[in-house]
Structure 1
Amino acid sequence: MTTMEQKGNSFYLFGITLVAAIGGLLFGYDTAVISGAEESIKKYLIDSQGLGSFIHGATISSALIGCIIGGIISGFFASRFGRKNSLIFSAAFFLISSLGAAHPEFLFFTKGDPSIGLLIAFNIYRILGGIGVGLASAVCPMYIGEVAPAHVRGRLVSFNQFMIILGMLVAYFVNFSISHGETQSWVDETGWRYMFLSCGVPALLFGVLLLIVPETPRYLFLKNQDDKALSILTKINGSKQANAILKEIKETIEDVASEKLFFYGKTVIIIGILISVFQQFVGINVALYYAPRIFESMGAGKDASMIQTTVMGLVNVVFTLVAIMTVDKWGRKPLLIVGSIGMAIGMIGVSSMAFFDVIGVSTLIFIIIYTASFMMSWGPICWVLISEIFPNKIRGQAVAIAVTAQWAANYFISSTYPVMMEHSSTLTYGFYGLMSILSAIFVWKFVPETKGKTLEEMEGTWTKVA
């Protein structure tokens, strides 16, 4: 027996993690690409029809409807078709959405002039892309969490968040390169189409690479494919550990068909939902979706706002790396609490600047403090916890519920932002600051530490209902 067979192949583990995490990159790319196209979409499809801020917010957030749908169906897809095939479905949705959002006339209409019909077609394609995001957001962390050994699981699931942020950063650069040097009228008429079309490249790559990665060993065991499960566990963990892990899985998945969602009580489900909801109620996606407009409102021009947004993207990457390097050393709870405090400082600072009508570098600094704090904590750690707190027997259903709640909260926060800002920017950002404070209290009181525990050991945290 070779040393690699005894200790496991870390290169193999990172390779399959990297492929799965491309789903995270697509998640981030699709989320951020709208930031560069948002103002052009408003002018081309909304203002031209005389529609108001509510339709504007609903259109920019339309993909989130698909995300909610994707979250709802993710449990069924992951359980019925497997984690790997669910990600392949996700890649297909991404590709169709990219092509359709770039050219919404395709299939639905033959005329490209702005119209209510064209706006509806655009939203349909964005919803399809949202379904892909919803699936990927649930299944990518689940996939990585189920293949990763306990001592590096936090780091590898956090890597998925790094890929989300990298996807956002790539989208910011692509949006900037498309708009740079062009007239605003060209961007409003044509440029936004290229922004959405660019998402098709990573979507196609994702779908092709998924064909060469394995299914997760825990899912294979659920489907009575013990030999395949053991083979993959051996490649990842080495032969000695693989047999021990398979034994643990076997003990915790016996009679899985008879298990109900609340077999471990309601507490674990409620905690999972609240982790997801707080991640959105702190307002992060407002900063992501509307970043260029926020900077333009601070006095920056089109190119300057794109540059500042890109700088934010770089900050996000750096602080996500901080989370990756510390999550398995410091634990999940300390990072979340520190991040919540930092987010509260950032958002309360932005709220104060808005109250005193101060626009400038100080506002940018508070926004960077806020986003950096989120990226080193709630950004990656939320997904880490969702992938590991639920017992094997209910993971598919429970993750679907938590992710659906997250996307519903995301839609609510993102779609209400324009209307809230029309009334009071001070109260809007103050609300996000208050949610940051409440999130710290919630983690301190209710969220268990999962550092270093196997997925099977986590089952003992929850009380089984007789």
Structure 2
Amino acid sequence: MPAVVVTNHGGDVPDFEGKITIYVIICVFIAAFGGLMFGYDIGISGGVTSMDDFLKKFFMNVYEKKKHVHENNYCKYNDALLQLFTSSLYIAALLASFVASRLCTKMGRKPTMQIASIFFMVGVGLQAGGINIVMIVCGRIMLGIGVGFANQAVPLFLSELAPAKMRGALNICFQLFITIGILAAGIINYFTSKVHPHGWRISLGLAIVPAVILLIGSFAICETPTSLIERKNLDEGKATLKKIRGTEDVIPEFESIVAASEMARQVKNPFSKLMKPSSRPPLIIAILLQVFQQFTGINAIMFYAPVLFQTVGFGSNASLLSTVITGLVNVFSTLVSIYTVDWAGRRILLLEACVQMFLTQTVVGLILLIDLKTTGSLNHVEAVIVVVLVCIFVMGFAWSWGPLGWLIPSETFPLETRTAGFAFAVSSNMLFTFIIAQAFLSMLCHMRAGIFFFFAAWILVMGLFTLFFVPETKGVPIDSMVEKVWKQHWFWKRYMVDADDEEIKEQVHPHVK
């Protein structure tokens, strides 16, 4: 395989040699199953909560409202416990991400992924074998811990494993596998919905497959050189770096990682370091990207796509089939991001998608506002138009805010605050995923078509934020972001002056805190 030489056009940043080896591809493929676990759960929960057998066992009042001929279209699924079934996972993942941050630093990225898969398998067992609401919610919580650990470790693993020139494409494999998981869940739900009365158990139980693959496969992959060097395993770190780069000439990159690790070791409390002004640029962007990612409305659509399509007039099976269609769009659009992110850059994908998502959310809102009353449904043509617009919306999200919401935070923190900073990113994602999952059905009931205008307004805000405050990071080595990105940005560079002052003070007065 020809070498892919990693080059950068910044003056004082060294060029690191490297190529994408077969071993790296295997490592990326196995680790990305952590994303497939997450995606499968996103896709499966919405389908299961629309299955009559599941509702009759755990949510009889929702089942009765659903079957009531004259029930309000926008409110028939509005139930706090039903929303808790979906959203409890995310509050557990939020808390777990901070524990996972510590483990990533102390034990490494690989063991954290292994622990994630174990928690996930326990959660699957509790859900698939659930006999009451307490049992399945406990299962959701265990799944949430697994998701929190996996979402903390996998993007960091992929970013640290990849050479700078290919970092975007390899990291986006995490999001690609999330979309594959969502698609697989949609297909499985379509068939298991016809298996009575335990089709929902099959849907939930099959979530164990990606967790088992991640656990078993993790024994065949390496730890990242950065994690090894950070934990003072220098010889193993250098050997691993040679293995994944496919070259003996790794001294410049090795020395860069060693220097970053030495700086990281001087920081005794990375969470305290994150509160300093010099850490604000990557922290603010990491958190806001997660908030904005959720307020595009994507998870509202992915969680409740079967519910949404039933609301606009599709039958139960037709709505599940429509979910499969959006899942296919999601997967293939993520592939677009893999091929474009490292040459077009991050910003252009984010900005283009904001325009696309704003227009589709607005038009869907207008159609529902004008033609979907509290009872009845849209006519067939309008319902098909809504599905097409949802697909266009998903398309824009899948090649931009979906993958880049994970990529940018995983590549912009310096090593001394990387796991702590990314924990804030993961926890912010889980917090706002929880908020949307818990609130969406109630919002749909009270806001009706206005919910789409609500999300469109947020998309406008995030587009403006991206335009002015999100820097371009393509091709920059992961340990050179401060010099090449933050100190060069028109706004964020003012915070980097504080970083220089802090460094000078520590050199002149090393014992003064």
Instruction: Decide: shared fold, TM above 0.5.
Output: yes
Q: Distance in 2 between matches of 1:153 and 1:3?
A: 15
Q: Distance in 1 between matches of 2:92 and 2:211?
A: 17
Corresponding residue to 1:409 among 410, 421, 432: 432
Q: CA deviation at 1:3?
A: 8.9
Q: CA deviation at 1:288?
A: 0.6
Q: Does 1:18 align with 2:29?
A: yes
Q: CA deviation at 1:47?
A: 2.6
| Alignment-mate amino acid for residue 102 of structure 1 | A
Corresponding residue to 2:329 among 315, 318, 326: 315
Q: Does 1:172 align with 2:186?
A: yes
SS at match of 1:452: coil
Aligned partner of 2:259 in structure 1 is 251
Q: Does 1:120 align with 2:134?
A: yes
Q: Does 1:45 align with 2:58?
A: yes
Corresponding residue to 1:68 among 94, 109, 117: 94
Percent of residue pairs identical: 30
| Alignment-mate amino acid for residue 90 of structure 1 | A
Contact 2:30 2:213 in 1 (8 A): no
Contact 1:100 1:122 in 2 (8 A): yes
Q: CA deviation at 1:249?
A: 1.2
| Alignment-mate amino acid for residue 362 of structure 1 | I
- 1:252-283, CA deviations, whole angstroms, 9 ceiling, x for partnerless residues? 22242332224533222111110111001111
SS at match of 1:448: coil
Q: Distance in 1 between matches of 2:215 and 2:301?
A: 30
Q: Does 1:199 align with 2:207?
A: yes
Q: Distance in 1 between matches of 2:59 and 2:266?
A: 51
Aligned partner of 2:231 in structure 1 is 223
Q: Distance in 2 between matches of 1:164 and 1:3?
A: 29
Aligned partner of 1:107 in structure 2 is none
Aligned partner of 2:281 in structure 1 is 267
Q: Distance in 1 between matches of 2:337 and 2:204?
A: 30
| Alignment-mate amino acid for residue 285 of structure 1 | N
Aligned partner of 1:211 in structure 2 is 219
SS at match of 2:49: helix
Q: Distance in 2 between matches of 1:178 and 1:59?
A: 19
Aligned partner of 1:55 in structure 2 is 81
SS at match of 1:265: helix
Aligned partner of 2:411 in structure 1 is 388
Q: Distance in 2 between matches of 1:375 and 1:164?
A: 10
Q: Distance in 2 between matches of 1:354 and 1:3?
A: 53
Contact 2:88 2:141 in 1 (8 A): yes
| More displaced stretch, 44-53 vs 189-198 | 44-53
Q: Distance in 1 between matches of 2:158 and 2:3?
A: 24
Contact 2:87 2:437 in 1 (8 A): yes
Corresponding residue to 2:291 among 234, 259, 277: 277
TM-score, normalization by structure 2: 0.83
Q: Distance in 2 between matches of 1:278 and 1:396?
A: 21
Q: Does 1:378 align with 2:378?
A: no
1:9/1:334 CA distance change after superposition, 3 Å: closer
Aligned partner of 1:109 in structure 2 is none
TM-score, normalization by structure 1: 0.92
Aligned partner of 1:85 in structure 2 is 111
Aligned partner of 1:324 in structure 2 is 338
SS at match of 2:472: coil
Computing the radius of gyration over CA atoms, which structure comes out larger, 1 or 2? 2
Q: Distance in 2 between matches of 1:231 and 1:309?
A: 46
Q: CA deviation at 1:377?
A: 0.5
Aligned partner of 1:436 in structure 2 is 459
| Alignment-mate amino acid for residue 26 of structure 1 | M
Q: Distance in 1 between matches of 2:168 and 2:407?
A: 6
Q: Distance in 1 between matches of 2:443 and 2:18?
A: 55
| Alignment-mate amino acid for residue 401 of structure 2 | W
- 1:29-55, CA deviations, whole angstroms, 9 ceiling, x for partnerless residues? 122111220123444212359996122
Moved over 3 A (4+): 6-9, 40-43, 48-52, 238-241
Contact 1:26 1:167 in 2 (8 A): yes
Contact 1:8 1:235 in 2 (8 A): no
Q: How many residue pairs align between the two structures?
A: 447
Aligned partner of 2:360 in structure 1 is 346
Contact 1:234 1:242 in 2 (8 A): yes
- 1:368-398, CA deviations, whole angstroms, 9 ceiling, x for partnerless residues? 1111110011011111101101111110000
Q: CA deviation at 1:326?
A: 0.2
Q: Distance in 2 between matches of 1:447 and 1:71?
A: 24
Contact 1:69 1:404 in 2 (8 A): yes
- 1:81-108, CA deviations, whole angstroms, 9 ceiling, x for partnerless residues? 210000001100111111110112xxxx
Q: CA deviation at 1:212?
A: 1.2
SS at match of 1:450: coil
Corresponding residue to 1:398 among 401, 415, 421: 421
1:141/1:7 CA distance change after superposition, 3 Å: closer
Q: CA deviation at 1:7?
A: 5.3
Structure 2 unmatched runs, 5+ = 5-16, 65-76, 268-272, 373-377, 487-495, 503-513
Q: Distance in 2 between matches of 1:234 and 1:70?
A: 33
Aligned partner of 1:115 in structure 2 is none
SS at match of 1:39: coil
Contact 1:46 1:52 in 2 (8 A): no
Contact 1:261 1:398 in 2 (8 A): yes
- 1:178-226, CA deviations, whole angstroms, 9 ceiling, x for partnerless residues? 224x4xxx2xx42111111111122112100001111110010011111
